[in-house]
C-alpha cells in the first residue's frame, strides 16, 4: 500500500528498535470500519525501503559518481575563485554543470563521507626532489637498524641525530595566567611583549636516548661545532670506533664540506646527510616536537635567560623517563612509498634529472 505520510527511511536510524517503532507504524496506519488496520505489521518493513509519494528525488548511481569526481577536482580547474570546495560549493557547481537539477549540500556531504573524501581539508606535502633520495634515505634507515654498508654496527659504534630549532621567542605575557579549575581550562593572556629569540641546538644518541643541547643567539658552523664538542668530548664517544652524525642540509652542516670539516674536528666522526626535504628521517625532530609541546607551549617566559634555563633543564628530566624511539620505517617501507609517489607527475624534469 502507498501513503502520503513522510518516509521513515531517512530517519529510521534515529529510532531505537523498541515499542516506539511499532507505535510509529500504528499511528501512520489508517483504521478500517471494522477497527482493523489497513496495513498489517508485515507491511512495516516497506517503510524502510519503499519510495513514498512526496519523497525527494532518488539520484541514479551515475550522478553520485560524477559528483564524487567533481569533489576530487581543484577549484582552479573549474575556473572558480576558491581555494577549496565546501559541500555547498560542490552542490552549486553540480547544478551549474547540469549534473543535477537540484541537490542539497547535506546530500553531497553524505556521499563524500561514505568514501572519506574531504575537499575542504588539505595537508602540506613535499615530494622527493633529490635524485639520490632512495640512496641517501636508505643509509640513514640502515643506521637506525644497526647496519652500515651491510654490516652490523659494533658495540663501540654510535648513531647521533642532530639539528637546531631556530628563532624561539621569549614572550612575556602582559597579565598573569590562571590555573585550571573545574569546567574551566587554564587561561593564558593573549597579548605579550617580545623579549628576544634564541636558537636551540640539540643532538640525541638514538640507541641510548642520551641528549645533548645548548642555546645560542643564532645558528651557524660555530654553534654546531660547540654541539659536536659537547658530545664528542664525553665518553663513550671520545674513544668510540665510529660515531655517525645524522643531519639535514641546513646551513650549519650542509654538504660535503661540512662532512670533511667534522672529520677534521674528530677523526672518528662520520656525517651522514638526509636527502633534501626529508628532515622527517631525522629522529631528533621527534625530540624537538616533544620540546615544543612540553616546554614551549604555551610560550610564557619573562626573558631569554629563563627560556634557556627551561630548555636545558628539560634534557636531564626527559632522560629519566625516555627510552629509544621505536623506529619502524625501514628500507622496504621506503621502497613502497617511492613506488606509490612515482605515479605523481609533479616534479619538474630539470630537477628530477
174-233: per-residue pLDDT in tens? 999 999 999 999 999 999 999 999 999 999 999 999 999 999 999 999 999 999 999 999
pLDDT of residue 56: 56
Please, which pLDDT band fits residue 27 given cuts at 50, 70 and 90? very low
266-284: per-residue pLDDT in tens? 999 999 999 998 989 999 9
Tell me what the mean pLDDT of segment 47-64 comes to.
64
User: Structural domain boundaries of the chain?
Assistant: 1-56, 61-114, 133-179+189-341
Best-predicted range by mean pLDDT (30-34, 75-79, 301-305): 301-305
CATH of 133-179+189-341, one of 3.30.420.10, 3.30.70.270, 3.40.50.620, 3.40.190.10: 3.30.420.10
Tell me what the mean pLDDT of segment 156-173 comes to.
96
347 or 71, which is more confident: 71
Q: Are 164 and 201 in contact (CB under 8 A)?
A: yes
Integer CA distances (angstroms), 198 to 34, 250, 304, 325, in order:
89, 17, 7, 27
Q: Is 18 left (phi over 0), alpha (psi -120 to 50) or beta?
A: beta
Phi, psi of 345 (to 5 degrees): -100, 65
Please, which pLDDT band fits residue 345 given cuts at 50, 70 and 90? low
Amino acid at each position: 500500500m502507498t501513503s502520503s505520510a513522510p518516509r521513515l527511511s531517512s530517519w529510521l536510524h534515529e529510532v531505537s528498535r523498541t515499542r516506539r517503532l511499532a507505535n510509529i507504524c500504528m499511528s501512520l496506519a489508517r483504521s478500517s470500519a471494522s477497527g482493523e488496520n489497513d496495513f498489517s505489521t508485515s507491511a512495516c518493513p516497506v517503510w524502510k525501503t519503499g519510495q513514498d509519494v512526496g519523497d525527494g528525488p532518488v539520484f541514479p548511481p551515475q550522478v553520485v559518481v560524477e559528483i564524487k569526481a567533481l569533489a576530487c577536482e581543484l577549484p582552479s580547474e573549474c575556473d572558480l575563485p576558491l581555494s577549496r570546495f565546501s559541500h555547498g560549493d560542490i552542490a552549486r557547481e553540480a547544478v551549474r554543470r547540469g549534473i543535477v537539477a537540484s541537490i542539497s549540500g547535506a546530500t553531497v556531504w553524505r556521499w563524500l563521507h561514505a568514501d572519506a573524501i574531504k575537499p575542504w581539508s588539505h595537508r602540506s606535502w613535499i615530494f622527493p626532489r633529490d635524485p639520490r633520495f632512495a640512496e641517501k634515505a636508505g643509509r640513514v634507515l640502515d643506521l637506525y637498524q644497526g647496519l652500515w654498508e651491510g654490516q652490523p654496527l659494533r658495540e663501540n659504534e654510535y648513531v647521533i641525530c642532530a639539528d637546531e630549532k631556530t628563532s624561539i621567542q621569549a614572550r612575556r605575557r602582559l597579565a598573569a595566567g590562571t590555573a585550571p579549575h573545574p569546567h574551566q581550562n587554564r587561561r593564558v593572556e593573549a597579548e605579550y611583549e617580545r623579549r628576544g629569540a634564541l636558537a636551540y641546538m640539540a643532538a640525541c644518541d638514538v640507541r641510548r636516548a642520551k641528549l645533548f643541547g645548548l642555546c645560542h643567539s643564532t645558528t651557524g658552523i660555530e654553534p654546531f661545532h660547540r654541539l659536536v664538542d659537547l658530545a664528542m668530548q664525553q665518553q663513550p664517544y671520545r674513544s668510540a670506533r665510529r660515531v655517525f652524525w645524522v643531519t639535514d642540509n641546513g646551513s650549519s652542516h650542509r654538504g660535503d664540506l661540512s662532512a670533511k670539516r667534522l672529520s677534521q674536528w674528530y677523526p672518528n666522526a662520520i656525517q651522514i646527510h638526509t636527502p633534501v626535504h626529508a628532515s622527517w628521517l631525522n629522529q631528533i625532530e621527534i625530540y624537538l616536537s616533544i620540546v615544543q609541546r612540553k616546554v614551549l607551549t604555551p610560550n610564557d617566559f619573562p626573558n631569554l635567560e629563563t627560556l634557556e634555563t627551561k630548555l636545558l633543564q628539560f634534557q636531564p628530566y626527559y632522560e629519566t623517563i625516555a627510552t629509544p624511539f621505536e623506529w619502524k620505517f625501514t628500507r622496504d617501507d621506503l621502497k613502497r612509498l617511492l613506488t606509490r609517489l612515482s605515479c605523481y607527475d609533479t616534479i619538474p624534469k630539470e630537477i628530477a634529472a
